[in-house]
Amino acid sequence: MNNRITMAALPLIVFVVLLGFLLKGLFSDPRERDSALIGKPMPEFVLPDLMSPSVQHKVETLIADGPVILNVWGTWCVTCQYELPYLTKLRNEYGVRIVGIYYDQNHAPEFGQFSDIPKIRIDVKEMVARLGNPYQYNILDLDRNLSLNLGVTGAPESFIVDSQGIIRAHHMGDVNERVWRTYLAPIWNEAK
């Protein structure tokens, strides 16, 4: 008798479990995914400064003054414009060191497309003058090879690199108050 009740209730149990599973899927963010880079060392690079190309940046110079937030951005990226004022606030009010990785979409020499770097410099200067400048400096990742090594899918994306050169956080999308408080700030304070 008891066995019979369980057998009869089985479809209902399966249904409820399935319902819970699908409901969870309905409210999850499909763009959210684990980064493969967390806990790994920052990939090696030697890249020029965006504004003064004679200056070369690399991992050692990046972490020389302690932990840093790497922010992948571009003037073409609309969401980046929204996070510029907030990142500037982080720099001015909390003393967060932010270094930009300039991600340009157009550069593809294998298909005969080249970026207009002087124009990028003008656009960058204009934009940070208008919306705030959170950056210590900008690294020009023209062939996006560093971005590929960092698992960057687009802009904006942000990383926390600690003073040992280990990647501690990887956020895809804009940094805002909510993201800073819930995800980045705890890791930043720990890295500091």
Footprint on this chain of other proteins (rule: CB under 8 A): 30, 33-37, 105, 108, 110-111, 144, 147-154
CB of 25 to other proteins, least distance (A): 13
CB of 31 to other proteins, least distance (A): 8
DSSP structure string for 99-160: EEEEE-SS-BGGGTB---HHHHHHHHHHHHHHH---EEEEEEETT-HHHHHTT--SSSEEEE
Residues 83 and 121 sit within 8 Å (Cβ to Cβ): no
Q: How many CB atoms lie within 10 A of CB 83?
A: 24
* Three-state secondary structure readout of 55-88: CEEEHHHHCCCCCEEEEEECCCCHHHHHHHHHHH
CB of 138 to other proteins, least distance (A): 18
Q: Please provide residue 60's backbone torsions phi and psi, each rounded to the nearest 5 degrees.
A: -60, -40
CB of 153 to other proteins, least distance (A): 4
Q: Which is nearer to other proteins, 44 or 177 (CB)?
A: 44
Give the whole-angstrom CA distance, residue 49 versus residue 56.
6
Q: Which is nearer to other proteins, 79 or 153 (CB)?
A: 153
CB of 78 to other proteins, least distance (A): 15
Q: Which is nearer to other proteins, 33 or 178 (CB)?
A: 33
CB of 161 to other proteins, least distance (A): 16
**Partners of 108 in the β-ladder:** 113
Q: Which is nearer to other proteins, 55 or 108 (CB)?
A: 108
Q: Which is nearer to other proteins, 37 or 184 (CB)?
A: 37
Give the whole-angstrom CA distance, residue 32 versus residue 171.
9
Give the whole-angstrom CA distance, residue 124 versus residue 107.
17
Q: Which is nearer to other proteins, 17 or 55 (CB)?
A: 17
